[in-house]
Structure 1
Amino acid sequence: MSRAYTLGLLAALYVAQGLPYGFFTQALPVLMREMGYSLVRIGATSLLFLPWALKFLWAPYVDHYGTRRQWLLPLQLAAAAGAALLAALEISTSLRWVFAALALFNLIAATQDIATDGLAVNLLGPRERGLGNGIQVGGYRLGMIVGGGLLLWIYAVAGWRPMFVAMAALLLLTVLPVLRLREPRRAAVAPAPRAVALAGGWWSRLRRPGVLPFLALISFYKFGDSMGAALVGPFMKDSGFGLAQIALIKGTLASVSALSGAALGGWLAFRWGRRRALLIGGLAQTLSLAMYALAALAAGGSGFGYALTVAACIAEHVLGGIATVALFTLMMDAAEPEHAGTDYSLLACTVAIAQGLASMGAGVVAEVGGYPLMFGASVALSAAGCIALVRALDRGAGPARLADVWRSSPAGPAPERLAT
C-alpha cells in the first residue's frame, strides 16, 4: 500500500470514530442543557462511554481472529445504519433513544478502534508514527468537530431527522477507503489461542514490566485537560451563546484549529522527538485551560468574556491537539506489533477511564463551586500531570520499548533533561 493511501485510510477510520463521538460529547451536552438537565446529569452521561474503558476485554479476539478488514467493514456499515435508524425514530420529546444509541455507537466505535489502532501500529514505522498520529488526532478531531459543530448546526436549523440523515451519509463516505484495503500478510505465528484463553489475554499484557506505572502516568497527563474540556459546551450556553454561535465556534473555527494542532503535534514528535513534544504540548494545553478559567471569571454577558471564550476554544484545539498527538505517539511506541490491538487498547482504555472520571468530576465541581473553580482545578491538574509524566520517563519508568525513542530525536539533537 502507498503511504498516501495508508494515511488516507487511517484518516477516514478516525473521522468515522470522531463523528458520533463529537455529537454525543459536544452537541448532546448543549442540547441537554437547553432541555433543563443539571450539570451533574450531563456529566453522568460519561457512563455510557464505558465500552471505551472496557474494550481491552475483547481486544485479544480482534487481534487473533479474522483480518482487520473483516472487522472494519461491518462495523463501519453498522454505525451508518444506526444513524439512519435514529433518523426514523421519534425522539423530539425524549432522549431515551439517543442515550441507547450512544451506548451502541460507543460499542461499535470502540471495537473499530481496536482494529484501526492495530492496523496503524503495524503499518507505521517509528519515524512515521508522529505523522501517523497527527493524522489520527486530526481525523478524529475533525470528526468530533463535524459531529459537534456541523451536526449541531443542522439540528438548530432543521431538527433531529435531517441531522441523523447527515450523520449516516458522512459515515457511509468513510467506508469507501476500507473497500480497497488489502492488508499485508501477517507474520507466521502460533495458532490463535482458544476463545477461553483469549478472555484473559489482556492480563498477561498488563503484567509486563513498567506497564502499570505508565498507565497511571498517561491517565494523570490527560485528566486535567479532560476535566476542563468536559463542560465547555454547557459553559458557553450558560454564558449566553446561542446554538448557532456554538456550532460556528466549535465547527468552523475549531476545525481549522484542531487540524493545525494535530499537524503541529505530528511535526514536533517527528522533528524534536517524543520528550519535547510531550512537554511542550502538555504545558501549552494547560495555558488554554487557563484562558477558560479567565473567561469564566469574566462571564456575565461582557464582550470581553465572549471574546476570551472564543480565543480559549481556538487555543484548546490547537494546543490540546499537540499534546494529544505526542501522547498517542508514545502510546503507539509502547505497543508490541504482535499484540498491537491489545496493547494499545489497554493504554487507550486507561485514558478513557481517566477522561470519564474527569468528566464526572467536572460536573460535580462546577455544580458545587461554579465554572471558575472547575476550570481552575483543571489548570492545576493538567500542569501537574505533564511534569509528572516527563520526570518519570526521564527516570526510566514505563515499558522497556520506550527507552529507544524517549530521548531520541529523528531530526535533531537529544533534548535536555527537565530540571528537577
Structure 2
Amino acid sequence: MSSHPLTVRPSGAAPLLLLTSLYVAQGLPYGFFTQALPVLMRENGASLKAISATSLLFLPWALKFLWAPMVDHIGTRRGWIVPIQFVAAIGAALLAWIDPAQGFMAVFVAVFAFNALAAIQDVATDGLAVRLLDTRARGLGNGIQVGAYRIGMVLGGGLLLWIYAQFGWVPMCLGMSALLALTCLPVLLQRSAREAPARQARPSVRQLAAGWCPRLRMPGMALLLALVCAYKFGDSMTASLIGPMLKDAHWPTAEIALVKGTLGSIVGLLGAAAGGGLAFRLGRRRALLGCGIAQALSLLLYVAAASLPTDRPLVWSACIAEHLFGGMATVALFTLMMDASDPEHAGTDYTLLACAVVVAQGLAAFVAAALGDAFGYLPALAAGFGLAVAGCAVLVIALDAGRGPPRLAALWRRPDAAAGTA
C-alpha cells in the first residue's frame, strides 16, 4: 500500500494530538460563522431565507471532491496542511479591518475564503486519518474527529461570539487568529517526521482533475451518498432554525452563544466520545440505528420549544439532548463512511461522502427556512423530526439489504473486535 502523508504511528499521543489540532482548526471558523453569523444577521433584520442563503458560502465543502484526487496524489499532506493553517490564522487577523456595520458583503467574501482553505485542509486531514486508523481504531478516530471539531465550535461559536458580545468585532477577530495560530503547533512538531516515498507512477494532472469520477462509479457508492444525506437531513433542518428562533424570542446574543455554542458543543463533545465507544463495542448497524433513533427523538424537545421559546429549562434541555445524541449519531455515521473508503484513495472516497453530508446540511437549511417563513417554526421543526426518523430507517434498511459498497458487508453487522483490520 503506497502512501505519501506524514508518516506517524497510530499509537502514542502525538498522532492523536495532531489529528485533534487539525479538526479543532476546522471547527473554529465554522463554529463562528454558522453559530454567530445567523444571529448577527437576524439582529440586523435579515429574513430566514436570506440567512439560509449564506449556506452557499459553504459551497467549497460541497465541491471539495473536485480537488480531493490532487490532494491525495500530489505533494505531501504536510505540504498542504502547514501553509493553509498559517494563511487561515493571518486571514482571521485581517478580518479585524472589516466593519460589519457597513454591510455583510466583505464578511461573506471572508467566509467563502475560509471555507475554501478549510475544505482543502480537510481532504488532507481525512485522508491522513483513514490511513492511520485500522478498523478497530476508527470509532476512536471518528470520536476524535467529531469531538475536536466540536471543541473548535465551542471556541468559535461560543467563546468568540461571547467576545464579540462583550468587546466587539476587532477583539473577536484577533482572538480567532490567535486560536488558529495555536492549532499550528502540533503540525510544526511533526517537522522531523519522515515522508513516505511517492508512488512509482503518478497520474497526470488531467487524470486527477476527474479522478473522483471512477470513485463515484464504484459499486454502491452513489447509493451510500444518498443514504448519508437522508440520515443527516432532518437533524440539520432543526439545527439551522434554533439560533434565529431564539433571537426572535428576544434571547440576548450572549445567552444564545452560551446555550448553542458553548453548552451545545461541550455536550456534543461528550456525545462524540460516547459514539466512538458505541461504534467500537456495538458494531456499525446497532450504533447507527440506536444513535439515529435517539437523535431523532431528541428533536421532539425542540418541537415543544417552538411553542414555548422563552421557557429556558425546556430550551436548554432540548439543546443538551440534541447535541448529545447528534454527536453520537455523527460519529457512528463518519465511522461507516471511513469503512467505505478505500485506503488507496482515502481522501477522495471519504471526501465524496463528506460532501454529501455538506450538501444535505445546505439543502436542509434552505428547506427549513422556507417552511419556517411560510408556516412558522413549529411545522418546520416537526418536519425535521419526521425526516430524521425516516432517514435513519432508510439507511439501515438499505444496508441490511446489502445495497451499499461491498467493503461494508463484512463490518455492517459485526463489532470491530470481530472484524479484524482494514
Structure-1-length-normalised TM-score: 0.95
Contact 1:223 1:381 (C-alpha < 8 Å) held by counterparts: yes
SS at match of 1:240: coil
Partner Cα separation in structure 1 for residue 172 and residue 48 of structure 2: 24
Which residue among 173, 176, 188 is the counterpart of 2:185?
176
Partner Cα separation in structure 1 for residue 307 and residue 99 of structure 2: 40
Which amino acid is 1:53 matched to? A
The offset of 1:7, in angstroms, is 1.3
1:360 matched to 2:366: yes
Which amino acid is 1:383 matched to? V
Partner Cα separation in structure 1 for residue 274 and residue 222 of structure 2: 30
Which amino acid is 2:280 matched to? F
Contact 1:295 1:306 (C-alpha < 8 Å) held by counterparts: no
What is the match of residue 104 of structure 1? 113
Partner Cα separation in structure 1 for residue 200 and residue 383 of structure 2: 49
Runs of 4+ more than 6 Å apart: none
Contact 1:271 1:410 (C-alpha < 8 Å) held by counterparts: yes
1:154 matched to 2:163: yes
The offset of 1:390, in angstroms, is 0.7
1:92 matched to 2:98: no
Partner Cα separation in structure 1 for residue 76 and residue 274 of structure 2: 33
Which amino acid is 2:43 matched to? E
The offset of 1:240, in angstroms, is 2.4
Partner Cα separation in structure 2 for residue 352 and residue 90 of structure 1: 29
The offset of 1:49, in angstroms, is 0.6
Partner Cα separation in structure 2 for residue 396 and residue 58 of structure 1: 30
SS at match of 2:78: helix
The offset of 1:89, in angstroms, is 2.7
Structure-2-length-normalised TM-score: 0.94
Contact 1:79 1:171 (C-alpha < 8 Å) held by counterparts: yes
SS at match of 2:100: coil
The offset of 1:183, in angstroms, is 5.4
Partner Cα separation in structure 2 for residue 78 and residue 30 of structure 1: 27
What is the match of residue 228 of structure 1? 238
1:307 matched to 2:278: no
What is the match of residue 375 of structure 2? 369
What is the match of residue 202 of structure 2? 192
Partner Cα separation in structure 2 for residue 389 and residue 63 of structure 1: 28
Partner Cα separation in structure 2 for residue 78 and residue 104 of structure 1: 10
Partner Cα separation in structure 1 for residue 198 and residue 109 of structure 2: 41
Q: CA RMSD in A?
A: 1.5
Deviation readout 1:267-314 (Å, 9 max, x if unpaired): 000111111110111111112211101100223x4xxx3221111111
Contact 2:154 2:266 (C-alpha < 8 Å) held by counterparts: no
1:353–1:122: structure 2 CA closer, same or farther, 3 Å change rule?
Answer: same
The offset of 1:410, in angstroms, is 3.1
Which amino acid is 1:18 matched to? G
Q: Which runs of 5+ in 1 are unaligned?
A: 414-420
Task: Spell out the pairing of 1:126-137 with structure 2 (5 A cutoff).
Answer: 126-137=135-146
Q: Percent identity?
A: 60
The offset of 1:186, in angstroms, is 4.2
The offset of 1:188, in angstroms, is 6.4
The offset of 1:405, in angstroms, is 1.2
The offset of 1:247, in angstroms, is 1.6
